[in-house]
Amino acid sequence: MTIAVKEEGQFTILENGTVTSPKGYEAGGFHAGFKRKRKDLGWITSHVPAVAAGVFTMNTFQAPPLKVTQESLLGGTLQGIVVNSGNANAFTGKKGLEDAYEMRKQFANIMNLKETETAVTSTGVIGEYLPMDAILNGINRIPDYKNSTNGNQFAEAIVTTDKVTKEVAVTCEIDGKEVTIGGAAKGSGMIKPNMATMLAFVTTDAAVEQKALQSALNDITNRTYNMITVDGETSTNDMVLLMANGKAANVPLNKNHSDWSTFVAALEYVSQQLAKMIAKDGEGATKLVEVHVSGAETKEGAKAIAKSIVGSNLVKTAIHGADANWGRIVCAIGYSGETVEEESLSISIGPINVVDHGITTAFSEEKAKEYLESETIEIHVDLHNGNEKAVAWGCDLSYDYVRINASYRT
């Protein structure tokens, strides 16, 4: 049961919200044996076929599950998603593709779904074949767990090196009907803008036309999931899937609907929160870094600069060490590919202004260090060259990042 706890403009944030907060969805997860102890098999189903949209990794090597899921999306609807963690089924050739199809087939059969309305997702180690005996045995056991697991268990089952699960849900009013949007995500390492190593699953009971749903997801992805980075790596597997099953019984939404902006605002909030949770939970991370760029001539320019700063290893290590070395921020702006006038540039680290129109300010190193020891760090850059702005999210780079990734397979 979800409880409304906070109003956020056009929508209400739910306490303990999950992918099953919207009407007409079931989900769960359990330990099927691919990993040593943690849950590793999860699923989501809708009571009816749902209008669906998806966005996928930009890596040249797309893993077999992505190819199978993109094929399922050609019909514009999904009714079920099955996810395994611990093994990515990536760079596994013909056998990997056959295994992904078999995974889809068995899940569709056991859940009474059409194969063409079923999505398959895998995450974990690259280059190893799926343990198909364990996969199929696990899928066949899903009915035994249907009544004892929920959206929280699904969120647990999809993680790999994540320290925490990532879930959020909101409600809003559309056509006088209560509409709910819920989401779950995983991601901790190999996170770079342009759809990197992350999975995000978003459900809603709103009725939405498919083209409008895909368009909204594309736009929102560019402002949220594509604006996070942990380590500059882009994975082979990951995706965002969005399902809208219409159980709220509103008039189907499109861009001309009077409540379209309300729906988009709620969907963007869910996506932004999931993206920020991924950035904050970066492997070895101790701080969330939020970079605001304003005064840009173009939106793309603002985004490029924000992503350049948040992706800089030198900026990330300075933040980890609570060192207000603003020169590293300047360097990241300089190699962003955007033209910036030095005398127009202003930079603040939190409330502390360190550069004003190209001139170094006299700031307190002690106060800057105190601020940089916070859990959330904001960097503000004003280019004084236009009206466009952008926000990007990342994390600091710690010693633990090397430790975690040096022993990822062991």
Q: DSSP class of residue 325? A: -
- Pick the catalytic residue from 20, 69, 197, 262: 197
Question: What would the two tokens of residue 2 be?
Answer: 């979800």
State the number of CA atoms in the 13 A half-sphere of 248 facing the CB: 25
- Number of H helices and E strands in the chain, helices first, is 11, 16
The amino acid sitting at 317 is T
CB 363 within 8 A of CB 276: no
Which residues, at least 6 apart from 162, have a Cβ–Cβ distance to it below 8 Å?
Answer: 186, 187, 188, 281
CB 51 within 8 A of CB 246: yes
C-alpha–C-alpha distance, residues 128 and 130, integer Å: 6
Mark whether 197 is an active-site residue: yes
Question: What would the two tokens of residue 15 be?
Answer: 């306490």
Please report how the helices 93-111 and 132-145 are oriented relative to each other, as an axis angle in degrees rounded to 10.
20
DSSP letters of 330-359?
Answer: HHHHHTSS----GGG-EEEETTEEEEETTE
C-alpha–C-alpha distance, residues 135 and 41, integer Å: 8
Residues involved in catalysis: 197
